[in-house]
Amino acid sequence: MALPSATLLAQAILAGLFTGALYGLLGLGLSLSWGMLRQINLAHFALAFLGAYLTYELSSRRGVDPLLSLVFIVPLFFALGTALHWVLTRFRVSPFNSLLVTFGVTVIIEALLQWIWTADYRKLESSYAEHKLRLGPLFLPLPELITLGLGVGISIAVWVALRRTDLGKAMRAAAEDAPIAAAFGVNQNALALMLSGLNAALAGVAGVCIALAYTLSPSQIYAWIGVVFAAVMLGGLGRPLGPLIAGCVIGVTEAVTMAVTAPSWAPLVSFSLLMLVLLARPGRVA
Partner 1 sequence: MKRSLLVILAAGAGLATVPWLGLPAFYESILYLVLHWIALATSWNLLSGYSGYFSFGHGAFFGIGMYTTATLATRFDIPFLWTLPAAGLVAALFGTLLGAVAFRVQAVRAELFSLLTLAATFVVATLILNTPIDGGPGVYMSAVPVPAIGPTASGTFYLLALAVALATVVAALVVYHSRFGTGLFAIHDDEDVAEVMGVPTFRYKLGAFALSCGLAGVVGGVQALFISYVTTGDTFTIALPLTVVLMAVLGGTRHWAGPIVGATAITLLLYAFTGGDTAIIGKGLTGLVLIVVILFMPEGLLGQALKWWHARRGAGAIAAPAPARAPALATGGPAVSPRPEAGAGEVLLRARGVRKSFKGVQALRGVDLELRRGEILGLLGPNGSGKSTFINVASGHYAVTAGVIEFDGRRISGIPAHRIAHGGMARTYQIPRPFAHLTVLENVALPAMFGAASLDRRSAEAEAWQWLAFTGLTERAGALPGELNLHQRKFLEFARALASRPQVLMLDEVLSGLTPSEIDEAVALIRRIRDQGATIVFVEHVMRAVMALCDRVVIFHRGEVLAEGQPREVMQRPAVVSAYLGQAMAPACAEAAFEAPMPVGIAELSHA
Q: How far apart are CA 36 and CA 39, in angstroms?
A: 8
Q: How far apart are CA 45 and CA 172, in angstroms?
A: 24
Residue 150 C-beta: closest distance to partner 1, Å:
25
Nearer to partner 1, 96 or 121 (CB): 96
Number of CB atoms found within 10 A of residue 47's CB:
28
> In the complex, which residues of this chain contact partner 1 (CB under 8 A)?
40, 87, 91, 93, 95-97, 99-101, 103-108, 110-112, 114-115, 222, 225-226, 229-230, 233, 262, 264-268, 270-272, 274-275, 278-279, 282-283, 285-286
Nearer to partner 1, 183 or 279 (CB): 279
Contact 204, 74 (CB under 8 A): yes
Residues in CB range of 137: below 8 A, 6 or more apart:
7, 10
Nearer to partner 1, 186 or 273 (CB): 273
Nearer to partner 1, 125 or 176 (CB): 176
Sign, CA torsion 195/196/198/202: positive
Q: How far apart are CA 16 and CA 266, in angstroms?
A: 11
Residue 236, Ramachandran bin (φ over 0: left; ψ between -120 and 50: alpha; else beta): left
Residue 168 C-beta: closest distance to partner 1, Å:
25
Residue 113 C-beta: closest distance to partner 1, Å:
10
Residue 275 C-beta: closest distance to partner 1, Å:
7
Nearer to partner 1, 138 or 262 (CB): 262
Residue 285 C-beta: closest distance to partner 1, Å:
6
Residue 216 C-beta: closest distance to partner 1, Å:
17
Nearer to partner 1, 67 or 278 (CB): 278
Contact 217, 58 (CB under 8 A): no
Strand ranges (DSSP E) for the chain?
132-135, 138-141
Q: What is the CA radius of gyration of the chain?
A: 19
Residue 258 C-beta: closest distance to partner 1, Å:
12
Nearer to partner 1, 213 or 233 (CB): 233
Distances (CA, A) of 179 to 127, 172, 173, 256, 275: 51, 13, 10, 47, 35
Nearer to partner 1, 212 or 274 (CB): 274
Q: How far apart are CA 11 and CA 225, in angstroms?
A: 25
Q: How far apart are CA 173 and CA 264, in angstroms?
A: 44
Residue 268 C-beta: closest distance to partner 1, Å:
5
Which residues on neighbouring strands pair with residue 266, listed in sequence order?
none
